[in-house]
Structure 1
Amino acid sequence: MEVIQKIGRMPIALVVPALAVLLSVLGVPLLQLFLDSLNAPAFSLANYQAFFSRSAGMSVLLQTIEISLVATGMCLIIGYPTAYLITNASGRLRTVLIVLIVLPWLTSALVRTYAWTVILGDRGLINNLLLYPGVIANPLPLIYNRFGVYIGMVHIMLPVMILPLLSVMHGIDKSLMEAGRSMGARPLVAFWRIFVPLSLPGVRSGSLLVFVVCLGFYITPQALGGLRETMLSTYIAAQFRNAFNLPVIATSAFVLLALAMAVLFLFGLPFGSQRSAVQSPRKGSGRLNPLSKIADVYNEASSGRRSTRWKTELYQSGQSSSWLSLIGALFVVLVMVFLQFPGLVIVVMSFSDGAFLEFPPSAFSLKWYRAFFGDPVWIGAFWTSIQVGVAVTILSTVIGTLAAYGLSRVSPGLRNILTMVILTPIIAPVIVVGVACYLGLINFGLVGSTTGLVLAHSIGATAYVVVTVSATLANFDWQFERAAKSMRAGPVRTFIRVTLPLIRPGIIGGALFAFIASFDEVVVTSLVSGFALFTLPLKMWENMNQQIDPTIAAVGSLLTLMPLIWLILLYLTWWRARLAPQKTSSMPA
């Protein structure tokens, strides 16, 4: 008991279990991978020189950067106005729109990619709509090219861009724009000079997250692109499966990892205070924009004219704003349709009676659901996913909650360093994480085992738990703990009886995200399962590559409906957490 008491007084010890799993499964193998890329123990840069000297390697690297940049730009162009319009919507409508954004984000990326193969295919929904009326004579090439890759990547990453923007925009004081307009600025000028600079932290965070994740994309380019759209992650996976030339794999993996880390540290990690982020662009605006001084001179010369115009326009009718509102509403509707339509297509197609996938179905039937539940291979893969997901949830929730609690009680500098270490599995390109996990598990003889798969999934799931529980602890009132300790309650008893009930919503939310992360994982699973274990997403991915099986639509439909269950559980948890203080306050003294 004394040992437990001492551990309770050393918060850093609570982070040790999470770090131990992370270092054994990912950290040490990453170091081993780096040494292999340097030809240890000889230590030379020959592998890197060979990589950059080959035109094929440089072409794939530049293509990876280009595709990631374009996809990020498209997400920003679509996501920024969407986030702005949602922020200005009424309370209930804003909640509905946020839910519609979160739903596809929680839906399996594999299912959404599969939906686009059906929508964009030569005999897909779009081409059929154009072929039947005779608008086109031959199918349009919408898939297995760069266009298909961009559509799939933007659809998957758009919520990741919108959510950080919403978080920042929601905290901007709208009265600042009204003050600007009261001083004669037109709405567009007030928006550009006031709102945009204040929203730059959200732009930075969203763009960095989207770009870094896009660098490691594997499933979507593989399913929707052609040979010309090969990205570095696809190249690494091909080397892993075909030749397993470890120095080549290690070199390519570290080039990709170094690129992602360089972008994060060069442009700043997607965390930080809004104030500093807002001020920094203003300080350098004169250097970054040579025309700014000319604009300032023009603004000073036209200030008198603007004040006169303000008096005449102050009481004008709002016809133009009505048109802008209509255009904005139509834009948001189109974005919501873009996000929700692939899931709807999968659900509708899953009830098809035909031998091939078609939309809309010529007849409705449950035959493909019966095929799923009647196939022992599919059911076996489903139960494997459930078992692994539950084990991952239990392990990652326990060690992630302890780590978050320990991190909340250490110094800010140490907390930031340890947090970034724990978040490495979800920041680094997933193909690099998968290769490193394979090397780590092979050292323990766990490749192709359920235990190995649980450990590989847990390092990423723990990161989600730490983020979620840390967010809850940020608003935790530590006076409750001090009050309990003042009444001679020990650290363990205080945590169990006081802290744990108050942070329960964050723990449940973290557990749900951990289960989703495990249940939806494909890339790491495909590398460490050793073809001995098939989870449901991995079975679905193998069938997509080998045969056209309409049973996939039934599986995809079930995975599409699962986020509704997660959101309901999260809402019930949040609702009960809100009701608890009200019940306590309403009890008679």
Structure 2
Amino acid sequence: MKMLQKLGRIPIGLTLPALAILLVVIGIPMVRLFLASVNAPAFSLTNYQAFFSQPANVRVLFQTIEVSAVATALCVIIGYPTAYLISAAPKRLQLTLIVLVIIPYLTSFLARTYAWVVILGDHGLINTLLLNGGVISSPLPLIYNRMAVYISMVHIMLPVMILPLVSVMMGIDRSLMAAARSMGARPSAAFWRVFFPLSMPGVRSGSLLVFVICLGFYITPAALGGLGDAMLSTFIASQVQTSFNIARVAASAFILLAVAGVVLSMFGLDLSDTQGRMAQRTQRAWQSRLPSFVPLRRYFGERADRYRAKRWTTNLYQAGAVGRWSILETVYIIFVMIYLLFPGVVVIIMSFSAGTYLEMPPSALSLRWYRSFFEDPSWNGAAWTSVQIGAMVTILSTIVGTLAAYGISRTRSQLRGSLTMVLLAPITFPSIVVAIAAYLGLVNLGLIGTKTGIILSHSIGAICYVVVIVSATLATFDRRLEQAAQSMRAGPLQTFMRVTLPLIRPGIIGGAVFAFIHSFDEVVISSMVSGFSIRTLPLKMWENMRNEIDPTIAAVASLLMLLPILWLAALYVFWWRSRQKALSPATL
């Protein structure tokens, strides 16, 4: 207790547990990995030269960048109009659409990848419907190609693009659009000159998240792509599984990390003010070169002002009208929601098939594959292992992450940004790089192939989600309540337990839910540190997807797709009960 009280007086000390876990699991191993890549203590670039001397390696590197860039561009093209329509929708419809976007975001990405295997396979939904309809005589090659990779990657990453965009767009003052319309601007001009520039922070943050995560994609290209669609993560994983030349693996990992670092350094800073000043200087320089057109410009400007004055009263009350969609916009948002949710629906329906293989529509309905899951010790044992690990990860990461978020919120602004960047490194680095670093760190501790090692490796990512969510809750917390408690001689620990904790509890619960989901869905890090003695449910699913198409996977995937609905329902019940408790004193 005394130690916690001392740490409470030094807020940065509350981040030490999180920093210690991060340092031991991936921090020090990352340094060792870099030293191995440069052949320390000799310090040479022979491993990097060996990588770039192989044309196949260079092709895989550029292919990784290309696939990530194209997937990011497609997410922007699809996600921006979707986010705009959601932000302009009425409140109730807006909430419904956000929930429909969150459900696939919370769904296991392995289950979503499997859904596209079921839909695009030779015996999948599309080919079956076309064959039964007599449209084609042989299955179309819809899987094991670049297009299948793009379809699945965009489906997985689209919620990651939409949610930041919606968050930014909902914070834009719509009266600015109304002011532009009232001054005679057309709707398109008001959008491009006012709304679009204000929404660029959401585009930038969403694009960065999608691109960096796509760089580390391993499962989806391996499951849906062909031999010519391998990405650098797949290349690194194959190096680990075959030879595990630590120097070569380290060089490949840091090349991938360098690509992510270059992109983050180029686009991670807000350059809007600089760009605005540059645009103004360019405009003034261009106008100074055309002095002979000044009288003509003034004449047409006066005519335009009179025209705008006539339109002002007409457009004044029409400018702020939002929430009404055209038929085209309604069709578009329905199409996007079907794209996000339909694969899950297909897997759920096919999981009730009574045949020896999956078919759509099922010729007969049965619970055969659900019984297979609950009766097979290899399946339910893997699920129970994932639940145990997820519960321990949730407890550890929630406690450590909450303390770190509280400490960060109380530190000086100069340190706050640096600490946040360090703590969020595990989810901003490509997952395969984090997995290799975690493997090296746990090897030193002798924890490879143990539940403790898996818990620690999962916790470094889970802590990030807790820090993000709890920090967002603390950002709206009124610190005067703490000051009032301290003025009544309450100590730091008592103030936190009696005042702060009850008010930020919804954020802590939300962070705990995301921590459990992260651990329960983790497969890349688990495949590195689990050895051959521990099999989690995602590892069991991944092994079956690679080696055999066991219809039991459909039942498992359908159960995983129903979990987000249960999580959201539980969070809503908890939020509703918290709100009722908060309102009850006011109603007395």
Q: Report TM bin, short chain.
A: over 0.9
Quote the offset at 1:107 in angstroms. 0.1
Instruction: Select which of 274, 283, 296 maps to 2:277.
Output: 283
* 1:418-429 aligned within 5 A: 418-429=419-430
Which deviates more from structure 2 when the two are superposed, residues 280-289 or residues 19-28?
A: 280-289
Residue 499 of structure 2 is aligned to residue 505 of structure 1: no
Quote the offset at 1:13 in angstroms. 1.4
Q: 1:342 aligns to what?
A: 343
C-alpha distance in structure 2 between counterparts of 1:135 and 1:266, whole Å: 49
Q: 1:246 aligns to what?
A: 246
Quote the offset at 1:573 in angstroms. 2.4
Partner AA of 2:517 in structure 1: I
Which deviates more from structure 2 when the two are superposed, residues 186-195 or residues 62-71?
A: 186-195
What TM-score, normalized to structure 2? 0.94
C-alpha distance in structure 1 between counterparts of 2:283 and 2:108, whole Å: 42
C-alpha distance in structure 2 between counterparts of 1:136 and 1:395, whole Å: 55
Q: 1:203 aligns to what?
A: 203
Decide whether the 8 Å contact of 2:64 with 2:231 is kept in 1. Answer: yes
Quote the offset at 1:138 in angstroms. 3.1
Q: 1:359 aligns to what?
A: 360
With over 3 angstroms needed to count, the CA separation of the structure-2 counterparts of 1:315 and 1:11, relative to structure 1, is closer
* 1:120-519 aligned within 5 A: 120-268=120-268, 278-285=272-279, 304=303, 308=307, 311=310, 325-519=326-520
C-alpha distance after superposition, 1:58-104 (max 9, x if no partner) = 11110000000000000000000001111111110000000000000
With over 3 angstroms needed to count, the CA separation of the structure-2 counterparts of 1:408 and 1:382, relative to structure 1, is same
Provide the secondary structure at the position in 2 that maps to 1:143: coil
Quote the offset at 1:3 in angstroms. 4.2
C-alpha distance in structure 2 between counterparts of 1:299 and 1:31, whole Å: 62
C-alpha distance in structure 2 between counterparts of 1:168 and 1:523, whole Å: 31
Decide whether the 8 Å contact of 1:51 with 1:57 is kept in 2. Answer: yes
Provide the secondary structure at the position in 2 that maps to 1:503: helix
C-alpha distance in structure 1 between counterparts of 2:421 and 2:490, whole Å: 33
Decide whether the 8 Å contact of 2:354 with 2:364 is kept in 1. Answer: yes
Q: 1:97 aligns to what?
A: 97
C-alpha distance after superposition, 1:432-461 (max 9, x if no partner) = 000000000000110000000000000000
Partner AA of 2:193 in structure 1: R
Q: 1:272 aligns to what?
A: none
Decide whether the 8 Å contact of 2:184 with 2:311 is kept in 1. Answer: no
Decide whether the 8 Å contact of 1:185 with 1:306 is kept in 2. Answer: no
Quote the offset at 1:284 in angstroms. 3.4
With over 3 angstroms needed to count, the CA separation of the structure-2 counterparts of 1:522 and 1:3, relative to structure 1, is closer
Decide whether the 8 Å contact of 1:165 with 1:203 is kept in 2. Answer: yes
Quote the offset at 1:193 in angstroms. 1.2
With over 3 angstroms needed to count, the CA separation of the structure-2 counterparts of 1:428 and 1:310, relative to structure 1, is same
C-alpha distance in structure 1 between counterparts of 2:534 and 2:297, whole Å: 67
Quote the offset at 1:300 in angstroms. 7.6
C-alpha distance in structure 1 between counterparts of 2:106 and 2:358, whole Å: 24
Provide the secondary structure at the position in 2 that maps to 1:43: coil
With over 3 angstroms needed to count, the CA separation of the structure-2 counterparts of 1:497 and 1:62, relative to structure 1, is same
With over 3 angstroms needed to count, the CA separation of the structure-2 counterparts of 1:507 and 1:236, relative to structure 1, is same
Residue 538 of structure 2 is aligned to residue 537 of structure 1: yes
C-alpha distance in structure 2 between counterparts of 1:172 and 1:444, whole Å: 50
C-alpha distance in structure 2 between counterparts of 1:3 and 1:158, whole Å: 44
Decide whether the 8 Å contact of 1:222 with 1:230 is kept in 2. Answer: yes
Quote the offset at 1:267 in angstroms. 0.9
Partner AA of 2:567 in structure 1: W
C-alpha distance in structure 1 between counterparts of 2:300 and 2:574, whole Å: 56
Q: 2:70 aligns to what?
A: 70
Provide the secondary structure at the position in 1 that maps to 2:534: coil
C-alpha distance in structure 2 between counterparts of 1:50 and 1:309, whole Å: 66
Decide whether the 8 Å contact of 2:434 with 2:525 is kept in 1. Answer: yes
C-alpha distance in structure 2 between counterparts of 1:521 and 1:291, whole Å: 55
Provide the secondary structure at the position in 1 that maps to 2:326: helix
Provide the secondary structure at the position in 1 that maps to 2:418: helix
Decide whether the 8 Å contact of 1:423 with 1:463 is kept in 2. Answer: yes
With over 3 angstroms needed to count, the CA separation of the structure-2 counterparts of 1:205 and 1:502, relative to structure 1, is same
Provide the secondary structure at the position in 2 that maps to 1:284: helix
C-alpha distance in structure 1 between counterparts of 2:346 and 2:299, whole Å: 57
Which deviates more from structure 2 when the two are superposed, residues 290-299 or residues 490-499?
A: 290-299
Partner AA of 1:373 in structure 2: F
C-alpha distance in structure 2 between counterparts of 1:159 and 1:299, whole Å: 46
Partner AA of 2:131 in structure 1: L
With over 3 angstroms needed to count, the CA separation of the structure-2 counterparts of 1:324 and 1:278, relative to structure 1, is farther
C-alpha distance after superposition, 1:392-421 (max 9, x if no partner) = 000001111111111111111111111111
Provide the secondary structure at the position in 2 that maps to 1:408: helix
Which deviates more from structure 2 when the two are superposed, residues 125-134 or residues 196-205?
A: 125-134
Quote the offset at 1:305 in angstroms. 5.8
C-alpha distance in structure 2 between counterparts of 1:76 and 1:301, whole Å: 41
C-alpha distance in structure 1 between counterparts of 2:305 and 2:335, whole Å: 36
Partner AA of 2:500 in structure 1: T
C-alpha distance after superposition, 1:4-30 (max 9, x if no partner) = 432221111111111111100010000
Unpaired runs of at least 5, structure 1: 270-275
With over 3 angstroms needed to count, the CA separation of the structure-2 counterparts of 1:93 and 1:322, relative to structure 1, is closer
Provide the secondary structure at the position in 1 that maps to 2:353: coil
Decide whether the 8 Å contact of 1:384 with 1:536 is kept in 2. Answer: yes
Provide the secondary structure at the position in 1 that maps to 2:563: helix
Quote the offset at 1:2 in angstroms. 4.6
C-alpha distance after superposition, 1:215-261 (max 9, x if no partner) = 11111111110111110000000000011111110000001111111
Partner AA of 2:18 in structure 1: A
Partner AA of 1:119 in structure 2: I
C-alpha distance in structure 2 between counterparts of 1:541 and 1:416, whole Å: 37
Partner AA of 1:173 in structure 2: D
Quote the offset at 1:133 in angstroms. 2.3
With over 3 angstroms needed to count, the CA separation of the structure-2 counterparts of 1:512 and 1:289, relative to structure 1, is farther
Decide whether the 8 Å contact of 2:75 with 2:154 is kept in 1. Answer: yes
User: What do you get for the CA RMSD once the two structures are aligned?
Assistant: 2.6
Which deviates more from structure 2 when the two are superposed, residues 545-554 or residues 494-503?
A: 494-503
C-alpha distance in structure 2 between counterparts of 1:511 and 1:582, whole Å: 25
Q: 2:106 aligns to what?
A: 106
Partner AA of 1:137 in structure 2: S
With over 3 angstroms needed to count, the CA separation of the structure-2 counterparts of 1:336 and 1:248, relative to structure 1, is same
Provide the secondary structure at the position in 2 that maps to 1:548: coil
Partner AA of 2:352 in structure 1: F
Partner AA of 1:397 in structure 2: T
Quote the offset at 1:570 in angstroms. 1.5
Decide whether the 8 Å contact of 1:286 with 1:292 is kept in 2. Answer: no
Decide whether the 8 Å contact of 2:182 with 2:311 is kept in 1. Answer: no
Identity %: 61
Which deviates more from structure 2 when the two are superposed, residues 105-114 or residues 257-266?
A: 257-266
Quote the offset at 1:282 in angstroms. 2.9
Decide whether the 8 Å contact of 2:523 with 2:539 is kept in 1. Answer: yes
For this pair of structures, how many residues does the alignment match?
579
